[in-house]
């Protein structure tokens, strides 16, 4: 699954650590999601989307084979 978290963080000028703190996960979790090595839970995806003021589909996109 592709995502635009890195871009959204840059727009808001926040670090992985700051985002992690705001959505109550570790920085490593955010890093893994950005690297497409971890698919977030629905709750976490919704928290991230809400924080950025976007819809989940604006941030997360299924890839072929997902």
Per-residue DSSP letter, 19: H
pLDDT at 39: 96
Number of Cβ within 10 Å of residue 42's Cβ equals 8
pLDDT at 66: 86
pLDDT at 58: 97
Angstrom distance (rounded) from CA 37 to CA 24 = 19
Could you state, in order of their start, the residue ranges of all structural domains in the chain?
Answer: 2-60
Structure tokens at 19: 């985002």
What CATH number is given for 2-60 in this structure? 1.10.260.40
| Tens place of pLDDT per residue across the chain (66 aa) | 999 999 999 999 999 999 999 999 999 999 999 999 999 999 999 999 999 999 999 999 999 988
The residues facing 2 across adjacent strands are 61
Does the global pTM surpass 0.95?
no
């Amino acid at each position: 699954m592709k995502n635009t978290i890195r871009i959204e963080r840059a727009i808001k000028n926040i670090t992985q650590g700051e985002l992690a703190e705001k959505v109550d996960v570790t920085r490593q979790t955010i890093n893994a999601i950005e690297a497409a090595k971890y698919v977030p839970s629905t709750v976490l995806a919704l928290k991230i989307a809400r924080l950025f003021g976007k819809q989940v589909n604006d941030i997360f996109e299924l890839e072929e084979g997902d």
